[in-house]
Amino acid sequence: MASQPANADESPFAYVYLTEVLPKGAMEVEQWASWSWKKPDEQFRQFKGRTEFEYGLTDRFQIAGYLNYSGKKIVPRGPGAPDSAADEFDFDSVSFEGIYQVLNPFLDPVGLAFYVEPAIGNGKRELEFKMLLQKNFLDDRLIVAGNIILEYEWEREPGEWEHESALEFY
């Protein structure tokens, strides 16, 4: 098997999605990672990761699959600390994503896309909808973007499912 060069593209925003999608037949692997540490009364370290496989189904429609995982290590210290230590790694969920680009930010006055993401995990279900907006200025060197997000979450509690929903603007 012949080797292929690897490319890295910028992601200008941490949590705001853009309206750009992969062209038809293009593939991409994306790795997300976050690290948390330092809580009062405990030695705390937490890692959250997400490995994403994206594919351009058409020039306007992109699909993706995610593997979501996390790990944490907690060592109690002090009066407000948890009762026990923890050192664990968890496979949290599988997510699927579809993004449909209605307006292209490079060809139209503004970029507009719609995003849907269902996720299934152990005792957890999520369904997320986003409206993605993008406007490029100064020959695409300045990007103004925003997302409107509607999210539903269900978590299994002993004997029942608990439901939460949220409407967010980024």
Q: Domain segments of the chain: what residues? A: 27-169
Average pLDDT, the chain: 88
* Per-position b or e across 16-45, b if 16+ CB within 10 A of its CB: bbbbbbbeeeeeeeeeeeeeeeeeeebebe
Per-residue pLDDT, averaged over 41-66, amounts to 91
Per-residue pLDDT, averaged over 9-34, amounts to 89
- Taking the chain, what is the end-to-end CA distance rounded to the nearest angstrom? 43
More confident position, 9 or 90: 90
pLDDT of residue 12: 79
pLDDT of residue 59: 97
Percent of the chain with pLDDT over 70: 87
pLDDT value at 3 more than 90: no
pLDDT value at 30 more than 80: yes
pLDDT value at 2 more than 80: no
Per-residue pLDDT, averaged over 133-147, amounts to 94
pLDDT value at 114 more than 80: yes
